[in-house]
Amino acid sequence: MTLPPGLLGRSQRRIRLTVAGAAVSTKTNSVLEKSPIDISLPILSFTNVRKSHSFPIHFYLLHVIENKVLLTLLIFQQSVGKISNKTANQILQLLQEQIDGDYSFVYLQRQVPSAHKAVQELLRRGFVESYLEPPQLAKPKYEKAVTLVGNVFDRDLTSRQREVLEVLRRRGGELWKNELLRISNTSSTTLKNLEQKGYVVIQEREVLRTESSSTPGEMLEKEQSKILTSDQAKALDEIARLDGYAKVLLHGVTGSGKTEIYLQAIAPVLAQGKSALVLVPEIGLTPQLTDRFRARFSVGFNGTSPVLVYHSALSPGERFDTWRLMLAGEPQIVIGTRSAVFAPLPNLGIIILDEEHDSSFKQDTPAPTYHARTVAEWRAELENCPLILGSATPSLETWVEVRDKGDKGDKGERLITMLNALLPNALLPNAQSKK
């Protein structure tokens, strides 16, 4: 279950010039059209065979003067031929203009329409080669922190140094160095002098990179638990009475308060020292839901928010730090898309799949293909914890499965809860049919 973050990063397919491709005549590479035979000496000739395509290649030493420096270039004779395909020529020209002759396949697709077929032709003829660049390895991030030592300031301080210490004292005695420099409008030299006098300690500390609130710079207002309707209270009571694995379909119309049930169902799980996993179908749904959860569960272990976000749009650094926080085993809530179903939470107490009917939970490409709902069910069984499937329009397979199990009286395996009424203050978006 615990995979290194590098495997969850994105490898990148890249295309680079071969020696033969560098010799093909294009607008960028026209030196071969100038017939360098009279100033060069052929030193080697051989036949390149690649997928039944062969042609003679002749090497030449060409002496040129560039910026008053004599350069000796190893080039090909023009017999390698030209590319008749206009798109392939464009790609070759781009690669020849790049100092390393190397671009990502995604970049080439953005620059040249219909690049895929052209790249295939260049690969077939041996003018370019394709390789997979592994994900960049993420490392911990460190920044310098300034800590105040004592609250008694002697007379050996300048007025500027005293101002800096007062700022540090008013801010709790500890600030990041860059933040202190900005607030105090001072220089690093001032801080260094204070450190030499023994008033502060400057040391590197790790900075955790996790996805922040959707309203950066603003403190989320603490949210209290809301009073439940009778339907909500009944649903929450059924979930609270679950012991071990169970699969619950929380079927409620839009605006019936399913999110509040999620929040109140998770609270006792955290109190027991366990973690919760909340899966949503789209990255765009995470910010609002994350803010709601962070407002409810504002402080976790080490004074930080226990709510983490995990999805494919995280930077390598954010993914690396979030992964390590999950591995810590502290009570926390992970909100993410389908890939978060593999989150390494050692002590999982509940799994929630919001909008369980959404097709985005199914990964078709690339391999391995899987459905997050199926994996979540397997994982809930392994962790012996409840799986809550929330939806206003459940998928047909989930609905039939719950109905069949319910008819057989298998209450320990399948439960169904109905939320038919809107919350009193619920506002739904206006929908109009176009005539």
Rg of the chain in Å (alpha carbons)? 31
* Straight-line distance from the first to the last Cα atom of the chain, in angstroms, rounded to the nearest whole number: 52
Determine contact, residues 223/157, Cβ cutoff 8 Å.
Answer: no
Q: What is d(CA 221, CA 218) in angstroms, rounded to the nearest whole number?
A: 9
Which residue type is seen at 2?
Answer: T
Distance CA 226, CA 424 (A): 12
Distance CA 202, CA 71 (A): 51
Instruction: Report the interhelical angle of 230-240 vs 258-271 (nearest 10°).
Output: 30
Taking a C-beta distance cutoff of 8 angstroms, is the pair 275, 333 a contact? yes
pTM comes to 0.65
The helix-helix angle for 177-184 and 159-170 (nearest 10°) equals 120
Bridge partner list, 140 = none
Judge whether 279 and 339 are in contact, CB under 8 Å. no
d(CA 298, CA 304): 8
pLDDT per residue of the chain (435 residues) written in tens, 0 to 9:
445 555 455 678 999 988 777 777 776 555 444 444 333 334 334 344 344 444 444 444 444 445 555 444 444 444 445 667 889 888 988 998 888 889 999 999 999 988 999 999 999 988 899 999 887 777 888 889 999 987 777 778 888 998 999 899 888 888 999 999 999 999 999 999 999 988 899 999 888 777 665 444 444 566 778 888 888 898 899 899 998 999 999 988 888 889 999 999 999 999 999 999 999 998 887 888 888 898 888 754 444 678 999 988 888 888 888 888 898 888 999 999 999 999 999 899 999 999 999 999 998 887 788 999 999 999 999 999 999 999 989 999 888 887 776 555 555 556 677 776 555 555 555 555 555
d(CA 111, CA 90) in angstroms, rounded, equals: 9
Task: Please give the domain boundaries of the chain with CATH numbers for all domains.
Answer: 11-133 (no CATH), 141-207 (1.10.10.10), 230-419 (3.40.50.300)
Task: Mention every residue, 6+ apart, whose C-beta is less than 8 A from residue 71.
Answer: 63, 64, 65
Instruction: Extract the runs of DSSP E, i.e. beta strands, from 193-315.
Output: 200-207, 246-252, 275-279, 307-310
